Amino acid sequence: MAVITYRQALHDTLREEMHRDEDVFLIGEEIGVFEGSYKITAGMLEEFGEKRVRDTPIAEEGFVGAAVGAAMLGLRPVVELMTINFSLIALDQIVNHAAKIYGMFGGQTSVPMVLRTPGGGGQQLGATHSQNIELYYAFVPGLKVVAPSTPADARALLKASIADDDPVLFLENLALYNTKGEVPDEPEPAEIGKAKVTREGSDITIIGYSRMAMVAGQVAEQLESEGISAEVVDLRSLRPLDRETVVESVRKTGCAVVAEDDWLTYGIGAEIAASISDGAFDHLDAPVRRVASAEVPLPYAKPLERAALPSAESLTTAVHETLDAVGHRR
């Protein structure tokens, strides 16, 4: 296995898939000459040419709509949106067209497209460029939404997303691009809709996705030194949502904390907590706690931004409070 960055894993997978299938092409803002805002598409224009690496105007509704049409006609577009915040400009194309065409036309045509887009705070980009609004899309039947937290999962889930016949929103967090991890030289596509237990434990389950799945792993490692055995579940996919893996873990540990970068109210954590209540209520020794972002437009000032975002410290506190409530001795 090679140790590479999350960014490199995405680049290598796109390049590999474009060599594998001539129907795969890239489309988005500044992905060609500029090589992408985050350099995921570095070298792609020179290697594959303008026909398969399509620079677009700053007009998300237009180029997402063009990708929907291309997908309906048999191509496999991979769209790069500069941030998930800009997807709101293309909301009609994503929610009313990409997500619904297969069902509305009785399966006569599918929309095999991938929308790659980063989100998340912590980069001092201001309130309108730092949101985690994946819930908007995870709410919509007809879309698939994935959120890998490691380079290996980024590679495996991107392969699966490009091969999928449904439209897939592929979420990347800006804070993950430079993180490193082992990646198989010849990875198999991941199963979309399948969570992963990334760390076994017996005292409490910590559930997260994207950046917070990474933070959960770090917290679990620290907790081990305190005599606390935390199991970590990385959701990886928000739609379909793997409730079974979450419930099975909580039935074993009896306690759960859900960590998410989006806002608390109506968030992904609320859905997870409800799923735990449905499937593991009789096994719970304490209420499910949730750790999320402060419910404010994210401040620009670095200290305020840091205070608003969920952190390893806030997650650790939630774990301690949960275990204290059930009399766990450290």
State the sign of the Cα–Cα–Cα–Cα dihedral 233, 237, 242, 243: positive
For residue 28, list its beta bridge partners.
Answer: 55, 80
Half-sphere exposure of 25 (CA within 13 A, CB side): 21
Same domain, 114 and 258: no
The verdict on residue 81 lying in a domain is yes
Residue 178 maps to a domain = yes
Does 170 share its domain with 238?
no
* Main-chain dihedrals φ then ψ at residue 53, nearest 5 degrees: -130, 95
Examine the domain organization and report whether 158 and 248 are in the same domain: no
- The H or E element spanning position 145 is strand 144-146
Question: Whole domain around residue 229: which residue ranges?
Answer: 196-325
Quick check: 137 and 145 in contact, CB under 8 A? Answer: yes
| pLDDT (average), residues 163-184 | 97
Per the annotation, the verdict on 129 as an active-site residue is yes
- Note the pTM of the prediction, 2 decimals: 0.96
Q: Is residue 172 flagged as an active site residue?
A: no
Task: Let me know if residue 256 belongs to a domain.
Answer: yes
Strand order in the sheet with 230-234: 196-199, 230-234, 204-208, 256-263, 289-293
In contact, 174 and 198? CB cutoff 8 Å? no
Q: Tens digit of pLDDT for each residue in 129-138?
A: 999 999 999 9
- Which residues fall within 8 angstroms of residue 271, CB to CB, at 6 or more apart? 241
* Domain co-membership, 6 together with 121: yes
The string of pLDDT tens digits covering residues 250-260 is: 999 999 999 99
| pLDDT for res 1 | 86
The whole-number pLDDT of residue 329 equals 63
Q: Are residues 66 and 156 in the same domain?
A: yes
Residues 149 and 283 in one domain: no
Number of domains forming the structure of the chain: 2
Total count of residues recorded for the chain? 330
What pLDDT is attached to residue 327? 84
Q: Tokens for 70, please give them.
A: 């291309």
Mean pLDDT of 257-277: 97
CATH number at residue 311: 3.40.50.920
Instruction: For residues 10 and 156, state if they share a domain.
Output: yes
pLDDT tens across 204-222, in order? 999 999 999 999 999 999 9
Q: Which residues contact 281 (CB under 8 A, 6 or more apart)?
A: none
Choose, from 17, 29, 35, 60, the residue flagged as catalytic: 60
Of 92, 139, 170, 133, the C-alpha closest to 297 is 133
Residue 27 host element (H or E):
strand 24-29
Q: Are residues 211 and 149 in the same domain?
A: no
Distance, CA of 195 to CA of 242 (rounded, Å):
6
- State whether 171 and 236 are in the same domain: no
Annotated active-site residue in 97, 129, 231, 260:
129
Does residue 330 surpass a pLDDT of 80?
A: no
Residue 189 lies in a domain: no
